[in-house]
Structure 1
């Protein structure tokens, strides 16, 4: 299910995590060649992706909201 990015935070390992409208969180790493997301490395890049729709697997599975 597609959900919009509403914000970001870093996890305990300092990886960027997108906060989705549905209440779930999803890592948004830039780890080429597996994940090519150079936009996550700058504040302007992250801000440009606010509202971008990500596929939320947690919603698909009916999981409760993240804390």
Structure 2
């Protein structure tokens, strides 16, 4: 556990109502994974191959701390 959340596996992706990519996490929560330089540099999210490559990797889930 870290101050920013618990590590959870990425199990899928979807687009929200504003057109932003969201990672679906193994805990049932979701987290935005925007590519919005210079604040968030995630060019991998813009391609199907990039998103596929991230499946099974972890993101920190802040909601699991609540």
> TM-score with structure 2 length normalisation?
0.91
Root mean square deviation, CA, Å: 0.4
The counterpart of 2:38, out of the listed 21, 33, 37, is 33
User: Match of 1:45?
Assistant: 50
Residues matched between the structures, number: 61
Q: Runs of 5+ in structure 1 lacking a partner?
A: 62-67
TM-score by length of 1: 0.89
State the alpha-carbon separation in 1 of the partners of residues 22 and 8 from structure 2. 14
Counterpart selection for 2:28 from 23, 30, 41:
23
Give the aligned partner of residue 16 of structure 2: 11
Secondary structure of 1:33's aligned partner: coil
| Unaligned segments of structure 2, at least 5 residues | 1-5
Structure 1 residue 52, shift from structure 2 partner? 1.1
